[in-house]
A and B are shown apart, each in its own frame.
Chain A
Amino acid sequence: AQTVTQSQPEMSVQEAETVTLSCTYDTSESDYYLFWYKQPPSRQMILVIRQEAYKQQNATENRFSVNFQKAAKSFSLKISDSQLGDAAMYFCAYKNYNAGGTSYGKLTFGQGTILTVHP
């Protein structure tokens, strides 16, 4: 079974600074997807960024980027120019590649990292 580990229960950053959240995972699969979701106090789970394992290029979405190290099974999230609105719980998640049809792997989440942004 796949597992996802976020070793940082809490992180903090000053506004406008950069912070990196860590995530490691364990799998025997070669094709899979990795995600970062953000959960603000409103509880809404918001997709931040998505990475396909077969792509070597790291995904980026505006101020958010990842460092995907497939051999090391590491998937960290970097938030640049942090804003107060970035304060939230961040979840790393893993999913096997969907081969189509009714076969569909489940989304496995890490424990989450609480990010605090100081003004």
Chain B
Amino acid sequence: DAGVIQSPRHEVTEMGQEVTLRCKPISGHDYLFWYRQTMMRGLELLIYFNNNVPIDDSGMPEDRFSAKMPNASFSTLKIQPSEPRDSAVYFCASSPPVGQGPTDTQYFGPGTRLTVL
């Protein structure tokens, strides 16, 4: 089975530009998570979805960040406008439904390295 797929793997943009990161969870998983990893703050949960519905977005740093999950196989994380302090590695992860597969285990994608100049 394919794992979590993220695109792009690398993104370099200039301050003020809009950035869209994409994620395809593992088929059959109904939880989807977006994390950000920086040297200063480590791994932080930004938002997570269950059955395409946002459940907890308390980790989203500012209104410049937004996330959507229009269907079970696709999610986006958008930053508009981007700032240099948004430079980080952004991970998407998914988890199977309760009672199916290793409960509460999250499987991560390869990450997107974002650089905002």
Hey, which bits of chain A sit against chain B, CB under 8 A? 33, 35, 37, 42-47, 50, 91, 95, 97-98, 100, 102, 104, 106-107, 109, 111-112
Q: Is the interface of B mostly helix, strand, loop or mixed?
A: strand
Task: Report yes or no: A106 in contact with B45, Cβ–Cβ below 8 A.
Answer: yes
Residue in A43, A98, A104 whose CB lies within 8 Å of B89: A43
A98 to B100: give the CA distance in the assembly, Å.
Answer: 13
Task: Report yes or no: A104 in contact with B105, Cβ–Cβ below 8 A.
Answer: no
Task: Report yes or no: B43 in contact with A109, Cβ–Cβ below 8 A.
Answer: yes
B111 at the interface (CB under 8 A from A): yes
Task: Report yes or no: B48 in contact with A106, Cβ–Cβ below 8 A.
Answer: yes
Q: Point out the residues of chain B lying under 8 angstroms from A46, CB to CB.
A: 108
Task: Report yes or no: A107 in contact with B106, Cβ–Cβ below 8 A.
Answer: yes
Q: A43-B89, A43-B110, A47-B108 are in contact. List 14 more A-B contacts (CB 8 A).
A: A42-B110, A43-B113, A44-B110, A45-B111, A46-B108, A50-B102, A91-B43, A98-B98, A98-B103, A100-B98, A104-B48, A106-B48, A106-B56, A107-B45
Distance between B106 CB and nearest chain A CB, rounded to angstroms: 6
Nearest chain B residue, comparing its CB with the CB of A111: B42
Q: Point out the residues of chain A lying under 8 angstroms from B102, CB to CB.
A: 50
Q: Point out the residues of chain B lying under 8 angstroms from A91, CB to CB.
A: 43
Q: Point out the residues of chain A lying under 8 angstroms from B55, CB to CB.
A: 102, 104
A50 to B31: give the CA distance in the assembly, Å.
Answer: 18
Task: Report yes or no: B104 in contact with A97, Cβ–Cβ below 8 A.
Answer: yes
B50 at the interface (CB under 8 A from A): yes
Task: Report yes or no: A102 in contact with B50, Cβ–Cβ below 8 A.
Answer: yes
Nearest chain B residue, comparing its CB with the CB of A109: B43
Task: Report yes or no: A44 in contact with B45, Cβ–Cβ below 8 A.
Answer: no
B74 at the interface (CB under 8 A from A): no
A97 to B45: give the CA distance in the assembly, Å.
Answer: 17
Distance between A6 CB and nearest chain B CB, rounded to angstroms: 10
Q: Point out the residues of chain B lying under 8 angstroms from A109, CB to CB.
A: 42-43
B107 at the interface (CB under 8 A from A): yes
Task: Report yes or no: A112 in contact with B45, Cβ–Cβ below 8 A.
Answer: no
